[in-house]
Amino acid sequence: MFAPVYLDHNATTPLHPEVLEAMLPYLREQYGNASSRHEYGRAARRAVDEARQQVAAATGAHATEVVFTSGGSESNNLFLKGAAVSLRPGLLAVSAVEHPCIARPAEQLARQGWEVATLAVDGEGRVEQGAYAELLARRPALVSVMLANNETGVLQDVAALAQAARPTGAWFHSDAVQVLGKLELDFRALNGAGVHALSVSSHKIGGPKGAAALVLDKRVELQPLIAGGGQERNLRSGTENVPAIVGFGAACALAARNVKENRRRLADLRQQLEAGLHHQGARIFGAGAERLPNTSYFAFPGVDGETLVGYLDRAGFAVASGAACSSANPEPSRVLMAMGVAPELARGAVRVSLGATSTAAQIEEFLGVLKGTLERLTSLTAMAS
Amino acid sequence: MKLPIYLDYSATTPVDPRVAEKMIPFLVEKFGNPASRSHSYGWEAEAAVEEAREQVAALVNADPKEIVWTSGATESNNLAIKGAANFYAGKGKHIITVKTEHKAVLDTVREMERQGFSATYLDVQENGLIDLEVLKAAIRPDTVLVSVMFVNNEIGVVQPIAEIGEICREKGIIFHVDAAQATGKVDIDLEKLKVDLMSFSAHKTYGPKGIGALYIRRKPRVRLEAQMHGGGHERGFRSGTLATHQIVGMGEAFRLAKEEMVEENKRIAALRDKLLKGLSDMEAVYVNGDLEHRVAHNLNMSFAYVEGESLLMAIKDVAVSSGSACTSASLEPSYVLRALGREDELAHSSIRFSIGRFTTEEEVDFVVKLLHSKVGKLRELSPLWDMFKEGIDLNTVQWAAH
């Protein structure tokens, strides 16, 4: 069976074997609806409660601050739209490098009477201090800045941004989907600095797809996105997806246990990778900023990213050109455009994101294959011109 | 025979082992994000998603392009009602639904009212079915949406969806149907039914929790305002990474439903008849909901002169529900039973038995015996029962205050 080396962990991650173990009973004999009063239901309810504790522990939150959703996109939609309904239309600020599941809801709010300001970023992808200060002077009601960018891995100093926003009274949200499991995440500390909500997702940390959470300061009043049976304290109705929630909880427990070691291990592997990339003439985006330890977003001048990625796949390496969610779209990355990268270079963008199954041997092999592929591609280009 | 006996299939169903088997590879080795276009992990996941889409479409005779994945029927109901009402708000802002709908519909319609829409909640007849004349009379020039569920989750009655579809199409009104309890139980042909939007759930049809779908008609084309924005998945109707394994599960569950429905319905009807016969030979027990226009799987019965909570506790060896799962935390009597005209007392003493694929004759026999025994005992302790046996009409009694 052709099983390419998987280097696309920011897109999704393989399920951790311990997570599968935790989930299986809930796909078999333990099938109760968590809202049912009989023993089947009560067992399901206990499982959901335990998972909630695990998610809370991994994010430095209290269990009552964890709202289960079906995905990171939903968590982001829930916060922005739910907050917007509670507040009167005002100013919403989002960074220029947010994931589409923040950017698109923001556009939707703009159609509903909100003013939306896009926070410019510098050449390394960090929110520009000057632009931010100007924005704060306009007293935003809502701010959303992601903790780590899914394409570049660049980190924002969300605690500092939130702290600066406090005097405005704005509700501050951060998409932390790419951070959980890679870096320590402490909602309590962030909340103390003025962050009111975080989005986290299961399938980025070795958990199953289909479960995620919005970690939410209880003082924030959100209008639910999904109405009905009243689950999640009325914030998110719908029969609880017990197996996925259990898997999410188990994945969180693992992530919390392994994060320190993980961080070091990934940083070493990425170091090895980028040494090789530099040697081959790659331009690495956001390298001047603090980044997630696992992500490397780069381009080779004159080499088309889509094409390179196609060759790499055939050679047995699964990587990405641009983000998964928009990889059907031939436009150059919005994130790179916001960083001022020239479109021709941006079109060369390739993302390698390492994870639990990544090894030094894989990186070594990848660099070798990359070298060969580049040689072929540049000679083909030479022949064509 | 495993205790407690599970007769709560309307609350949720076990994942059919054949479905679980299909799902697991997509949970484990084939874990790619279906939106990853750059490698075979993604393509493989995408192919599986599209195959499942065909399977869901096949059960209801729809085009796969008309099937949009959601996280469940609750979300589908929200998307259908909010999405259609908001898109067509220029044409009018009146919504019609029924008092016996699931909360996922009722609460969503109430939300629309808070946003400036007006709504009519139709009464039902004593048998739980809507009166088509009452529906017609409720339609106004500014009505844009009608929402009526196919099969009621509490009492199992089947509404006249085909006729309602004709009425709505004739008036250019969007018709949404919550079919969460219908798939695998009744025939659904969306080529024939003039339904514009239909919600589906996997976990009511032996599929996994956490996945559902919304049918959105293309001929004539129905438009919706999306509710979940982001990466543009599902042709912009519903953004968010698709959970491949859950989708594969729903596809397989619906494929099995298509193949096995006819045979299964026969078997379940026989079990239901046994249960009904066994329980009906007690005095003062009533079936809630029309006896003819119903699915075989559901039997909601009221046991007069028995206190509801005590009854539920007495039959702990059977997992059933009184009222819907989604509302069973509240001690309010079921609003569905109240809509049938049942007084609170009787509504409180009601049990919903729902039979399913894995229910056995042995289990039904056990339940009949158990109910006879417990109902008998509880009635022995009930002074109201004594009065009933003496022929006293309790409605004429003047109760003294203490």
Domain boundaries, chain B: 5-10+262-382, 17-257
β-strands A212-216, A197-201 pairing: antiparallel
On whether any CB of chain B is under 8 Å from the CB of A83, the answer is: no
SS3 A127: strand
A132-146, B35-49, B378-392: least confidently modelled range: B378-392
- For chain A, the average pLDDT equals 95
On whether any CB of chain B is under 8 Å from the CB of A78, the answer is: no
A21 CB-near residues (< 8 Å, 6+ apart): A250
Query: What is the rounded average pLDDT of the residues B281-295?
Result: 96
The closest CB to that of B38, out of A33, A211, A320, belongs to A320
User: Taking the C-alpha atoms of A256, A262, A263 and A265 in order, what is their torsion angle to the nearest 10 degrees?
Assistant: 170
CA closest to A307 among chain B residues:
B38
User: So what's the pLDDT on residue B327?
Assistant: 53
User: So what's the pLDDT on residue B273?
Assistant: 97
SS3 B147: strand
User: So what's the pLDDT on residue B329?
Assistant: 57
Q: Comparing C-alpha atoms, which of A267, A253, A246, A126 is closest to residue A181?
A: A253
Q: Where are the alpha helices (DSSP H) in B212-319?
A: 244-280, 308-314
Query: What is the rounded average pLDDT of the residues B3-23?
Result: 97
Query: Hunting for tokens 């969806």 — which residue is that?
Result: B161
Contact between chains at B33 and A23 (C-beta distance less than 8 A): no
Contact between chains at B8 and A325 (C-beta distance less than 8 A): no
On whether any CB of chain B is under 8 Å from the CB of A328, the answer is: yes
What distances in angstroms separate CA B129 from CA B135, B148, B204, B291, one per listed residue? 11, 11, 22, 11
User: Taking the C-alpha atoms of B383, B388, B389 and B390 in order, what is their torsion angle to the nearest 10 degrees?
Assistant: 90
Share of chain B above pLDDT 70, in %: 98
pLDDT digits (tens, 9 = 90+) for A269-298: 999 999 999 999 999 999 999 999 999 999
On whether any CB of chain B is under 8 Å from the CB of A37, the answer is: yes
A235-244, B13-22, B110-119, B309-318: least confidently modelled range: B309-318
Position B333 pLDDT exceeds 90: no
Query: Hunting for tokens 């959303």 — which residue is that?
Result: A144
Rounded to whole angstroms, the Cα distance separating B99 from B159 reads 13
Rounded to whole angstroms, the Cα distance separating A15 from A47 reads 19
Contact between chains at B15 and A306 (C-beta distance less than 8 A): no
List domains and CATH numbers for chain A. 3-10+258-382 (3.90.1150.10), 15-252 (3.40.640.10)
In chain B, residues with a C-beta closer than 8 Å to the C-beta of A48 are: none
Position A50 pLDDT exceeds 60: yes
The confidence band for A305, taking pLDDT boundaries of 50, 70 and 90, is very high
SS3 B5: strand
Does the annotation place B201 within a ligand binding site? yes
The confidence band for A26, taking pLDDT boundaries of 50, 70 and 90, is very high
Q: Note every long-range contact of B161-168, with CB atoms under 8 Å and residues 24 or more positions apart, other chains counting.
A: B161/B193, B161/B195, B162/B192, B162/B193, B162/B194, B163/B132, B164/B130, B164/B132, B164/B135, B165/B193, B165/B194, B165/B195, B166/B194, B167/B132, B167/B135, B167/B136, B167/B139, B168/B194, B168/B196
B287 CB-near residues (< 8 Å, 6+ apart): B276, B280, B299, B300, B301
pLDDT digits (tens, 9 = 90+) for B144-190: 999 999 999 999 999 999 999 999 999 999 999 999 999 999 999 99
User: So what's the pLDDT on residue A328?
Assistant: 60
Q: Is the dihedral of CA B36, B40, B45, B51 positive or negative?
A: positive
Neighbours of B50 (CB within 10 A): 14
Q: Is A62 exposed, middle or buried (0-12, 13-18, 19+ CB in 10 A)?
A: middle
The closest CB to that of B103, out of A104, A228, A319, belongs to A228
How many CB pairs lie under 8 A apart between chains A and B? 257
Structure tokens at B329: 């935390």
Contact between chains at A228 and B107 (C-beta distance less than 8 A): yes
Contact between chains at A318 and B31 (C-beta distance less than 8 A): no
Contact between chains at B103 and A4 (C-beta distance less than 8 A): no
B5-10+262-382: CATH topology: Aspartate Aminotransferase, domain 1 (3.90.1150)
In chain A, residues with a C-beta closer than 8 Å to the C-beta of B71 are: 70-71, 74, 210, 238, 241
Q: Where are the alpha helices (DSSP H) in chain A?
A: 17-27, 39-59, 72-86, 100-110, 129-137, 158-165, 187-193, 242-279, 305-314, 334-338, 343-346, 360-384
SS3 A239: coil
User: So what's the pLDDT on residue B42?
Assistant: 95
Q: Is the peptide bond before A140 cis (omega within 30 degrees of 0)?
A: no
Position A336 pLDDT exceeds 80: yes
pLDDT digits (tens, 9 = 90+) for B32-68: 999 999 999 999 999 999 999 999 999 999 999 999 9
Q: Would you give the DSSP letter of residue B227?
A: S
Dihedral class, residue B168 (left if φ above 0, else alpha if ψ from -120 to 50, else beta): alpha
On whether any CB of chain B is under 8 Å from the CB of A208, the answer is: yes
Q: Are B69 and A221 contacting, i.e. CB atoms less than 8 angstroms apart?
A: no
Q: Which H helix or E strand runs over A198?
A: strand A197-201
CA atoms within 13 A on the CB side of B357: 20
* pTM of the model as a whole: 0.96
A382 CB-near residues (< 8 Å, 6+ apart): none
The confidence band for A325, taking pLDDT boundaries of 50, 70 and 90, is low
User: So what's the pLDDT on residue B121?
Assistant: 98
Position B223 pLDDT exceeds 70: yes
User: So what's the pLDDT on residue B384?
Assistant: 87
Q: Is 3.40.640.10 the CATH classification of the domain at B17-257?
A: yes
In the beta sheet, which residues pair with residue B158?
B151
Position B325 pLDDT exceeds 60: no
